[in-house]
Amino acid sequence: MRELPRLKIVDSTSGVWLRQPRSSRHQILLAFEKERLAMTKNVNVAMVGLGFGAEFIPIYQSHPNTTVSAICRRDEKAVNECGDQFGIANRYTEFDQVLADPEVDFVHINSPINDHAWMSLKALDAGKHVMCTVPMATTIDECRQIVEKVKETGLKYMMAETVVYSREYLFIKQMYDTGELGDIQHLAASHPQDMDGWPEYWEKMIPMHYATHVVSPCLGLVNGLAEYVSCFGSGRVRDDIASKSGNKFAVETCHIKVKDSDLVAHIWRFLYDVARQYRESFDVYGTKKSFEWTLVENEPHVIHTAKKPEHEIPEKVEVPDFANLLPPEIQKFTLPQEIHDADHLSFIQGGGHGGSHPHLVNEFVNSLLENRDPFPNAVTSANWTCVGICAHESAEKGGEIVRLPDFTLG
């Protein structure tokens, strides 16, 4: 469909427009923009961060409702190489250049973690919708600012949490939604990962400050929010990591109380100095069936069925793909062979993120075209992120209960 011209308001005579309060003018502009998106059925994305982030470019280029209108990376040579590879004309080395581009509807941020909050806030201030890779931020105050900014502007924000769009999660959710699991009794998730060899900024990271991969499936499955946490630290990282991160614990293990529920979830994380293969596991225990993640990567998961003879209770299962939920044009991107940089550490250790990338793209694009909140929206993203921040605070206090801030509770 032909792109409609963008709204331009000129105060030629009466000055009525300029005399409107700034908040009113913003709401009028936002209303016009929503109508434009609904009519054109096309949205323009700027990709910010082109390491891992470049994996999303061919998905957006294949999606029937998106155009990659710009890319951004600090390294001019790298941004030009990426632009040449994917045929993208608008190439920026400064984030402000992206925000000044009137053709950009939303930014997809894949920059280093410390950039996530300020970039998200600046983009929202510039009138751009935001999808940002995890975590939302590294402080509670930054999460609060993003939630408040989304509420103030009416723009969309989505934390691009891969786990809740992985094939394993979608399989478990299907079992839950159809009643196959019965009532949920307990949830558990783990994310062990050896970060030696990754960029140096990871040495400053606290394990629970990067915990959304384990928090999100536990809370997302039951559509719940965390109310409070209790966390313990265990063991000790080597001195150089402890001095850089300000965290001495090798492992952090946390219990999450699910708000308005009798459920508790258990999660644990480590980043350094523990011998364990990479794993992003998610276990769900129900009254009828339970799902347990394999202990070894690429081996079958296990379903336990109640009231069978003991030797028949466990059954290995091959999890199906859920590409059928996507537009035909992007279904192929759930498959590992469509990863264009398979040597990136996030894929070597992450197993391709469970085919989640096209689902993330499709969800956010549809949320814009349908003018609805994406999943997860800003409040839910803040809740999932703040679980880890509060968990580390609890660990430093010897397991003391720490409550989630009110702005994350819906």
Asked if 200 and 109 sit in the same domain, the reply is no
Q: What is the pLDDT of residues 195-223, one digit of tens each?
A: 999 999 899 999 999 999 999 999 999 99
Asked if 168 and 308 sit in the same domain, the reply is yes
Count of the separate structural domains present in the chain:
2
The verdict on residue 115 lying in a domain is yes
Lowest mean pLDDT among 192-196, 234-238, 276-280, 335-339: 335-339
Q: What is the pLDDT of residues 121-179, one digit of tens each?
A: 999 999 999 999 999 999 999 999 999 999 999 999 999 999 999 999 999 999 999 99
Within 13 Å of residue 85, how many CA atoms lie on the same side as its CB?
A: 14
- What pLDDT sits at residue 23? 57
Give the Cβ contact number of residue 85 at 10 Å: 13
CATH number at residue 70: 3.40.50.720
- What pLDDT sits at residue 243? 97
Angle between helices 378-396 and 140-153 (to 10 degrees): 170
Give, in order, the Cα–Cα distances in Å from 176 to each of 78, 126, 220. 44, 40, 12
8 A C-beta contact, residue 387 and residue 227:
no
- What pLDDT sits at residue 7? 41
The verdict on residue 2 lying in a domain is no
Which residue, of 127, 146, 162, is where some domain finishes? 162
- In the predicted structure, residue 184 carries a pLDDT above the cut 70: yes
Q: What is the pLDDT of residues 52-63, one digit of tens each?
A: 899 999 999 999
Q: What is the pLDDT of residues 322-361, one digit of tens each?
A: 999 999 999 999 987 655 555 544 444 444 689 999 999 9
The verdict on residue 7 lying in a domain is no
Closest Cα to residue 163, out of 112, 223, 211, 230? 211
List 190's β-bridge partners, or say none.
268, 281
Name residues whose C-beta falls within 8 Å of residue 144's C-beta, 6 or more positions apart in sequence: 382, 405, 407
Tokens 């004309």 sit on residue: 89
Closest Cα to residue 271, out of 251, 291, 286? 251
Asked if 144 and 169 sit in the same domain, the reply is no
Name the range with the highest mean pLDDT among 4-13, 19-28, 319-328: 319-328
CATH number at residue 184: 3.30.360.10
Lowest mean pLDDT among 27-36, 276-285, 310-319: 27-36
Which residue, of 162, 191, 212, is where some domain finishes? 162
- What pLDDT sits at residue 37? 63
Look up the pTM and report it.
0.89
Asked if 156 and 169 sit in the same domain, the reply is no
What confidence tier does 291 reach under pLDDT thresholds 50, 70, 90?
Answer: very high
Cα–Cα distance, 13 to 31 (Å, whole number): 23
**pLDDT-above-90 percentage for the chain:** 84
Q: Mean pLDDT for the chain?
A: 90
Asked if 277 and 403 sit in the same domain, the reply is yes
Asked if 139 and 240 sit in the same domain, the reply is no
- Output the CA torsion sign for 41, 46, 48, 54: positive
The domain of 256 spans 164-321+372-408
